[in-house]
Amino acid sequence: MQKEEIKKYFYDNFELNQEKKEYLEIHAKRFKTILSIIENKNFNAVLDIGPSFLSELLYPKFGEKLTLLGFDGEENEGGHLPNSAILKKVKLIKQDLNFFKAYAEDLPKYDLIICAEVMEHLYTSPRILFKNLNHLLNKEGLLIIQTPNAIALRKRLALLFGNNPFEMPRENLENPGHFREYTAKELVGLGQVNGLKIEKIIFDEYFEYPSTLSKFYRFFKIIIPKNLKSGITIVFKKP
């Protein structure tokens, strides 16, 4: 699906409040990036971590092969999920990822695990996260990690002008914002420690914020060094 098709799908099939509309407009291109990676691939068991708009896009392709992991009900409401209908259509593993211990859980293995825009919200060690995700992944399975780039050019420029590019922790404990962002080098290292191979790394300015500055970055993104772009998507494969 192309970016505009993704937007139309949600506008045609869901009642979106202003917060959800803004989230969709910002992240539609990011969803397209993931869908393009898996477009011509088949998987028998898929785990999507953090129910979101992306989960609704995965459901038509995978149906009951799709499992979600994250919070239930109202905890998922807000900008990240169009409504709670999908939580009734597929299996949901109710779990706070900060306290997730895959070795202690009686869970199946998955051919595809998607962890998109999640790990930056966790205060637990990313080493533990990767260890758990690797444990849940079948041999020859794919793990897609998508997260903001901690060393993006726009963040460096903000620091240069004396501004902190990272938001203050929020008072909402269910959605506290970003605890820690990562670089591609860090993510690659975390995968390699667990024996994962790098299939693909994508750097892009796919966060389409409405601000003039964000539009400027996207217009000139062709001249921004790839490792300084705002978004990172890495596809790992388990040998």
CATH number for the domain harbouring residue 100: 3.40.50.150
Q: What is the pLDDT of residues 58-71, one digit of tens each?
A: 999 999 999 999 87
Q: State the maximum Cα–Cα separation within the chain, in Å, rounded to a whole number.
A: 50
Predicted TM-score (pTM) of the model is: 0.93
In a structure prediction context, what are the per-residue pLDDT tens digits for the chain, which is 239 residues long? 999 999 999 999 999 999 999 999 999 999 999 999 999 999 999 999 999 999 999 999 999 999 999 876 555 554 588 998 898 899 999 988 998 887 767 889 999 999 999 999 999 999 999 999 999 999 999 999 999 999 999 999 999 999 998 888 887 766 778 999 999 999 999 999 999 999 999 999 999 999 888 888 888 888 999 999 999 999 999 99
User: In terms of residue numbers, what domain contains 113?
Assistant: 3-237
- Look over the chain and give the mean of its residue pLDDT values, rounded to a whole number: 92
Q: Inter-axis angle of helices 212-219 and 153-160, to 10 degrees?
A: 130
DSSP-derived secondary structure letter, 40? T
Spatial CA neighbour of 199 closest among 161, 150, 145 = 145
> Residue 172: how many CA atoms within 13 Å on its side-chain side?
8
Q: What's the pLDDT tens digit per position in 170-188?
A: 877 667 789 999 999 999 9
Total of domains in the chain: 1
